[in-house]
Amino acid sequence: MRIRRASCTAAVTVTRFIRKMRGIAQAILAEASDGNLYVVKFGNSSHGPNLLFRESVGTELYRISSLPVPPWRAVILGKSFVDKNPGCWLNTNEQLARPQCALCFGSQYLGEKSFEILEILPSSFHKWVQNRADFWRAWLIDALAGHTDCRQAIFRMRDRGKIDAIFIDQGAMFGGAEADPCTFVAASRYLDRRIYEGISDLSLSALKHQVSQLDFDRLWQTINHLPSEWRTSSAIRCFSQAINTLAQSRAVDQTLQTMVQCQFGLADQGGTTFLSRKPVRAASPAAVQVGARTALGNGKPACVR
pLDDT by residue (tens digit) across 11-27? Answer: 999 999 999 998 878 99
Per-residue pLDDT of the chain (305 residues; tens, 9 = 90+): 444 444 455 899 999 999 999 887 899 999 999 999 999 999 988 777 899 999 999 999 999 999 999 999 999 999 999 999 999 999 887 788 899 899 999 999 988 666 789 999 999 999 999 999 999 999 999 999 999 999 999 999 987 789 999 999 999 999 998 888 777 899 999 999 999 988 776 788 899 999 999 999 999 999 999 999 999 999 999 999 999 999 999 999 999 999 998 888 754 433 333 443 333 333 333 332 333 333 333 333 333 33
The string of pLDDT tens digits covering residues 49-94 is: 899 999 999 999 999 999 999 999 999 999 999 999 999 999 887 7
CB 199 within 8 A of CB 277: no
Domain range spanning residue 245?
Answer: 116-296
State phi, psi for 203 to the nearest 5 degrees. Answer: -130, 160
DSSP state of 295: H
Q: Kindly state whether residue 4 falls inside one of the protein's structural domains.
A: no
* Cβ contacts of 45 within 8 Å, gap of 6 or more: 24, 25, 26, 27, 51, 90, 99
Domain end among 83, 108, 133? 108
Q: Kindly state whether residue 305 falls inside one of the protein's structural domains.
A: no
| pLDDT at residue number 140 | 97
Same domain, 153 and 219: yes
CB 70 within 8 A of CB 168: yes
Tell me the β-bridge partners of 108: 38
Give dist(CA 217, CA 214) in Å, integer: 9
Does the model's pTM come out above 0.85? no
Q: Kindly state whether residue 304 falls inside one of the protein's structural domains.
A: no
Amino acid at residue number 131: N
Beta strands in the chain (DSSP E): 12-20, 28-32, 37-41, 72-76, 90-91, 96-97, 103-108, 116-118, 152-157, 163-168
32 closest CA partner among 66, 1, 74, 68: 74
Domain end among 85, 108, 131? 108
Q: Kindly state whether residue 7 falls inside one of the protein's structural domains.
A: no
Same domain, 104 and 172: no
Q: Total structural domains in the chain? A: 2
Tell me the β-bridge partners of 189: none
CA distances from 215 to 66, 137, 293 (A): 11, 16, 35
CB 232 within 8 A of CB 49: yes
